[in-house]
Amino acid sequence: MKIQMKIPLVEMDGDEMTRVLWSQIKEILILPYVDLKSEYYDLSLVNREATKDQVTIDAALANKKYGVSVKCATITPNKQRVEEYGLSEMWKSPNGTIRAILDGTVFRTPIMVSSIKPAVRTWEKPITIARHAFGDVYRASEIRVEGPGVARLVFTGDSGIEIEEEIARFEGLGVLQGQFNKDSSIYSFARSCFEFALSARQDLWFSTKDTISKKYDHRFKDIFQEVYDQEYRARFEAAGIEYFYTLIDDAVARVIRSKGGFIWACKNYDGDVMSDMVSTAFGSLAMMTSVLVSPDGNYEYEAAHGTVTRHYYRYLKGEETSTNPVATIFAWSGALRKRAEFDEIPELIHFADDLEEATLQTIEDGEMTGDLVALCDRPATKLNSTEFLQAIGRRLEARIG
Ligand code: NAP
Ligand code: MG
């Protein structure tokens, strides 16, 4: 008997090679065992064009309604894609649209296997980076200073209040930048991080440069502390996990010396840079999962990589591809597990565990896709995408059957 579900999982299909993998993952690894109840949204670029991108909005609203979704990688159109797909408009990034509707924070976690060693020898467990995805330098206004003069920071309140501060006096050429963030967004970021830490049962670290930025970064620090003290301290203590704040310089040193196994929350720019460093040091983008968590507890699971276009063009020519499906499989297992936790379906939690273990076991046994063969510290067999999914399927069958 297949595992029954109670509430639909929101399923967002996508583009190119990952779309090909998507249907194979379902067919080989999910549908034989789970009576999948999903509300399906086709977020392929073709259907976004056909629906004038309404499908992306509908999918995000469904995620808000049901609480959990799993998303395939999607094309973010640029000029070349507008021509390739004959688009009537350069549709916005689906991830950006979904993030704006769910108001969430993105958490990225590497999937570890024993044959692929992190560049940092002490890392034994994954490090998850939580990046604040709003404001700061990404929404800054900039001025090229053309000659001598005074730069001032001015705030004009609707109430009539005016605050002014001299930034600098220029004797000659220079540059200027104005950044902002909003308390509402920082509160959401903080709550998403605390929620995720509880859900993962891992310590939460947060770091900024508050010693230098005594108002701006300090506000981040204060908001995190306030939310922790008022809303999460008791739950953290009950779960046996810790929250701690430290200066970013200190955090960097501690991360490198650590064994891993925690969540590191970063401001927007820090998270951008540190997530690339951490993911590269763990091995491969194809082994990195990503989950968007909203402050009110909605979850959207996906792979951190894109649609693997180069492989797709080879696939279209009928050539064999060895594209790594692991992060997409883990997006499915993560979403099914979260759905199962919400709906109290223990068999489905077991299934998600089995699926992940069968996947890792396959790699541990030396069968993997080409990208991993290149990183592996022992001899390994390169399989094409379908053979690899079937190899996982055999191990899954052995566990369940
Ligand atoms: P990408 O799809 O992540 O692929 C970049 C390269 O990384 C690939 O060509 C491949 O290298 C390697 N790679 C990534 N994932 C792999 C996997 N699962 N298995 C094996 N190799 C993998 O990034 P991109 O080429 O920059 O972007 C392609 C499209 O994806 C773009 O249209 C972009 O808008 C979209 N995108 C979507 C998301 C998302 O939906 N979350 C995120 C990023 C990009 P080799 O070719 O050397 O084998
Ligand atoms: Mg980056």
Instruction: Specify the pLDDT at position 130.
Output: 96
> Residue 109 belongs to what domain range?
1-113+295-401
Same domain, 81 and 92: yes
398 and 376 housed in the same domain: yes
234 sits in the region (left: phi over 0; alpha: psi -120 to 50; else beta) called alpha
Compute, in angstroms, the gap from residue 306 CA to the centroid of ligand 1.
4
Q: Do residues 53 and 161 both lie within one domain?
A: no
Ligand 2 centre to CA of 293 (Å) is 19
pLDDT in tens, 176-214: 999 999 999 999 999 999 999 998 999 999 999 999 999
Q: What is the pLDDT, as a whole number, of residue 104?
A: 80
Same domain, 134 and 275: yes
Is residue 244 predicted with pLDDT exceeding 90? yes
- Report pLDDT for 401: 75
| Average pLDDT, rounded, for the chain | 95
Say how many Å lie between the CA of residue 275 and the centre of ligand 2. Answer: 7
User: pLDDT value at position 58?
Assistant: 98
Structure confidence at residue 90 (pLDDT):
93
Are 359 and 326 within 8 A, CB to CB? yes
Residues 132 and 218 in one domain: yes
Mean pLDDT of 302-319: 95
Residue 162 counted as domain residue: yes
User: Based on the structure, what is the number of domains in the chain?
Assistant: 3
Residue type, 219: R
CATH number, domain of 85, equals 3.40.718.10
- Cα 5 from Cα 347, distance rounded (Å): 10
Question: Which residue minimizes the CA distance to atom 8 of ligand 1?
Answer: 308
The span from the CA of 278 to the CA of 19, in Å, is 27
Read off the pLDDT of each residue in 269-277 and give the average, rounded to a whole number: 89
Atom of ligand 1 nearest to the CA of 323: 19
**48 CB under 6 A from ligand 1?**
no
Q: Cβ neighbours of residue 246 under 8 Å, at least 6 residues apart?
A: 205, 206, 207, 254
Taking the C-alpha atoms of residue 18 and residue 304, their distance in angstroms, rounded to an integer, is 12
pLDDT digits (tens, 9 = 90+) for 86-95: 999 999 989 8
Among 254, 282, 310, residue at a domain's last position: 282
Q: Are residues 4 and 104 in the same domain?
A: yes
Ligand nearest to the CA of 305: 1
Q: Which residue has the higher pLDDT, 6 or 101?
A: 6
Q: Which of 259, 282, 305 is the last residue in one of the domains?
A: 282
Whether residue 389 has pLDDT greater than 90: yes
Q: Is 93 in the pocket of ligand 1 (CB under 6 A)?
A: no
Predicted local confidence at residue 322, as pLDDT: 96
SS3 347: helix
Shared-domain flag, residues 173 and 227: no
- For residue 220 the two structure tokens come to 């981040």
Q: Whose CA is nearest to atom 27 of ligand 1?
A: 306
* The domain boundary residue, chosen from 253, 282, 311: 282
290 inside domain: no
pTM here is 0.89
Is the same domain home to 220 and 365?
A: no
Contact criterion met (CB below 8 Å) for 135 and 185: yes
250 in the same domain as 319? no
135 lines ligand 1 (CB under 6 A): no
Looking at residue 386, its pLDDT comes to: 96
User: What separation in Å is there between the alpha carbon of 310 and the centre of ligand 1?
Assistant: 8
pLDDT of residue 297: 86
**289 is a domain residue:** no
Which of the 8 DSSP states describes residue 138?
G
What atom of ligand 1 comes closest to residue 308's alpha carbon? 2
User: What pLDDT digit, counting tens, does each position of 17-66 carry?
Assistant: 999 999 999 999 999 999 999 999 999 999 999 999 999 999 999 999 99
- For the segment 118-143, the average pLDDT, to the nearest whole number, is 91
75 lines ligand 1 (CB under 6 A): yes
For residue 86, give the DSSP letter: T
Neighbours of 228 (CB within 10 A): 20
Cα(319) to ligand 2 centroid in Å equals 31
Q: Is residue 318 part of a domain?
A: yes
Same domain, 66 and 173: no
Report how far ligand 2's centroid is from the alpha carbon of 274 (Å).
Answer: 8
Counting ligands in written order, the one closest to the CA of 274 is 2
- Domain check: are 80 and 8 in the same one? yes
Specify if 80 maps to a domain. Answer: yes
In a domain, 75, yes or no: yes
CA nearest ligand 1 atom 42, residue: 306
383 pLDDT higher than 90: yes
Quick one: pLDDT band at residue 295, thresholds 50, 70, 90? Answer: confident
User: Atom 41 (ligand 1): residue with closest C-alpha?
Assistant: 73
Q: What are the tens digits of pLDDT across the range 146-171?
A: 999 999 999 999 999 999 999 999 99
pLDDT of residue 285: 83
| Ligand 1 lined by 323 (C-beta under 6 Å) | yes
Q: Are residues 343 and 224 in the same domain?
A: no
Using one digit for the tens of pLDDT, what is the confidence trace for 355-381? 999 999 999 999 999 999 988 888 999
- Ligand number nearest CA of 384 is 1
Flag whether 287 is in a domain: no
Give the Cα separation of 377 and 364 in Å (integer).
Answer: 11
Stronger pLDDT, 117 or 368, i.e. the higher one: 368
- In a domain? residue 103: yes
Separation of alpha carbons 145 and 141, rounded Å: 13
d(CA 125, ligand 2 centre) in Å:
22
Q: How far is the CA of 18 from the centre of ligand 1 (A)?
A: 9
What's the confidence (pLDDT) of residue 87? 95
Segment 63-72, tens digit of pLDDT:
999 999 999 9
